[in-house]
Chain A
Amino acid sequence: MKRELTITTSRIDEALQTQSRDASSEAGAAITFSGIVRGTEESDSITAIDYEANEAMAKHQFEKIFDEIEKRWPIESVRLIHRIGLVKVNEPSLWVEVISGHRGEAFAACQWLIDEMKRVVPIWKHPVSD
């Protein structure tokens, strides 16, 4: 399974990521997910989220998640970008692409990846209100 992990303070260019898709002739499904910053956090209006990470551990835990995906489903590739630092409302903080032969495993792996990320990857949110 090909894998690409980026933890960055730079803005995520979703269009560029889609254009740079690299799928084999066996691929029949490409799932992408963007997690975007909502304008409210626990009912309070916010303007941004400042993401903090234990970066070395986050990278390691993401790689373990990818390892598990490779064991569970026939996935061709996973690409993931998570921003850290300040991310404004409506901007993506997370971008995920899962490519596989069929949509069933792509949807399942993508859902599981995000659920597991929210359980174990050491990243935290600090809401910001101007």
Chain B
Amino acid sequence: MFSYSQIARWLKRPLDPITVEDWVANREVFGESKGDEDLEQAYQIEKARERGLGETAPEDASLDLLLNGYEVANVLEKDNFVIIAPVGKPAQAEVWIYGEKVEKKNLPAREVTVIEIDPGRTTKIKVRGKNNLEWSGKDFKKVVFDLRGRPLPL
């Protein structure tokens, strides 16, 4: 059974160990039920990680599940968002967003930063970090920078 610390690290709000343990134990015995989406997401992430991160993520995987439960390396384009997850050690980066005006953002290391982009806008994005990546595209609503480094530790 997953421990409190395994589940708690993915939760969006703090929960006490007894509540988490009871939920996980019930999940194991009774299966999925409509209830706490936050806990269910954390559980799914740990289930995916239990299999070793190497599997291909399902098509309908949420962003959290995709980022934390599967191995995403460098660039992954999905539907209306793109994930940029440079391989190597965690490191900060800078991003330039070219469009009608040039915007520059600093991206902190060891964090996931989400940038919302005006859809339909042709946007070229340049990332400078330890691993130089360039990517350009349009019609993406979101660009997700995962600078925690890859591969993810289990």
Chains A and B bind each other: no
A-side residues, CB < 8 A to B, are none
